[in-house]
Amino acid sequence: MDAQTAENTVNTVLGPVPAQELGVVAVHEALLSVVPGAEYAFDVTIDRAEIFETLAEKLKDFRGHGGGTIVDSTGMFHGRDVRLYEALSRTTGVHIVASTGQGPEEMLGGYFLTPQTNPPTPWPAEKFADLFTKEVTEGMVVPRVERRGAAGLVVTAATLAGMTATDESLFRGAARAALSTGVPVSIRFGNDAVRDLEVILDEKLPADRVVVGGLDRKDAVAVGAPLEVARRGAYVAIDHVGTEDERHLGDKERVALVAQLVEAGFGERILLSSSATGVAKGHDGNDMPYSYVLSTFAPLLKAQGLSDEDVQRILVDNPRELLSVR
């Protein structure tokens, strides 16, 4: 560890924390996940006390299995509740990193897509950059009330059928916000992981400030995207660990993918997470414990022959480097 690493900090909802203290990090999870608009639905109840209890239980389980830090990768418009996360972090001792950003296009409010101008031109990259940057430098918005805490990363996503023009503005805005603030960018790609990563890199953001999520999707693996993303120098997030469905690899294949990446010399670029949804409103969510990687997947990796050092690097060192504000 060099002197620089020792001084690095990470933005958590309770303020900057020395990067050394993060411990095991789950880099792509959701705490409270609300489909935009669901908060207004007649049959959706938002009981904050109940939500707190559920999340606290899950965070304690994560900590009980050796977890240190949860990254809430839902961005600024999908249920993020900074005040609740502060209380959760204080109560459970788990560090919580909250995110700014939004996307894909379908998830945006009309304010960004059909503004009250003639013609109603969607927001350009520069305006998204400003919106996201301020969530790092001035604090995350509690809509129409206040700003609280600094966002620890910028997240965005492209439309599954392929990146739209507005998605591209979101990606470029996210990259610019990361460049100007020093926090990383986490992207979920549309139909081409490498192409979508290139949009971020085109903004001159160093590749080691970017994590590409969803790389355990079958379509990405089929075209060799995980290796190619690693070759470009970005982080490869295998972030549906535990999910067994049509779209994703199963855990057995995930283990093989991790081993393959380590073998190819990219052990420093791998991240693991489960995309678990602590509490979901307005959608089914992914009811998986945050501890799954630690309790179930890490032993599979070791059984596959990965060393303790390799696993430690993936679960602790890599996310620490990624999340450190530069």
Positions touching other proteins (CB under 8 A) are: 35-38, 40-43, 76-77, 106-120, 131, 134, 141, 143-144, 147, 282
Residue 141 or 306 with smaller CB distance to other proteins: 141
How far apart CA 5 and CA 19 sit, in angstroms, is 8
The least CB distance from residue 76 to other proteins, in Å, is 6
Burial of 56 (0-12, 13-18, 19+ CB in 10 A): middle
**Residue 3 or residue 42: which is nearer to other proteins going by CB?**
42
65 CB burial (10 A radius; 0-12, 13-18, 19+): middle
Q: Identify any residues that bridge with 80 across adjacent strands, giving them in sequence order.
A: none
Shortest CB 281 distance to other proteins, Å: 9
Instruction: Give the residue with the Cβ less far from other proteins, 14 or 107.
Output: 107
CA distance linking residue 154 with residue 177, whole number of Å = 8
Q: What residues does 137 pair with on adjacent strands?
A: none
Q: How far is it, in rounded angstroms, from Cα 187 to Cα 84? A: 25
| Shortest Cβ 59–other proteins spacing (Å) | 26
What are 215's two structure tokens?
């790389």
User: Which one, 120 or 305, has the nearer CB to other proteins?
Assistant: 120
Sign, Cα dihedral of 261, 262, 266, 270: positive
Please say which residue, 21 or 106, places its beta carbon nearer to other proteins.
Answer: 106
Whole-angstrom distance, CA of residue 320 vs CA of residue 161: 32
Residue whose token pair is 């940057």 = 133
Nearer to other proteins among residue 66 and residue 122 (C-beta): 122
CB of 27 to other proteins, least distance (A): 24
Q: How far apart are CA 145 and CA 126, in angstroms?
A: 24
Q: Of the two residues 7 and 47, which places its CB atom closer to other proteins in the complex?
A: 47
* CA atoms of 180 and 182, how far apart (whole Å): 6
**What's the min distance (Å) between Cβ of 36 and other proteins?**
4
Residue closer to other proteins (CB basis): 56 or 113 = 113
Residue among 43 and 246 whose Cβ is closer to other proteins = 43
Residue type, 124: P
Contacts of 87 (CB under 8 A, 6+ apart): 52
State the nearest-atom distance from the C-beta of 319 to other proteins, in Å: 27
Q: How far is the CB of 30 from other proteins (least distance, A)?
A: 16
| Backbone dihedral angles phi then psi of residue 68, each to the nearest 5 degrees | -115, -40
Task: Give the shortest CB-33-to-other proteins separation in angstroms.
Answer: 12
Nearest to 210 by CA among 238, 179, 235: 235
Distance in angstroms (rounded) separating the CA atoms of residues 240 and 216 = 7
CB of 142 to other proteins, least distance (A): 10
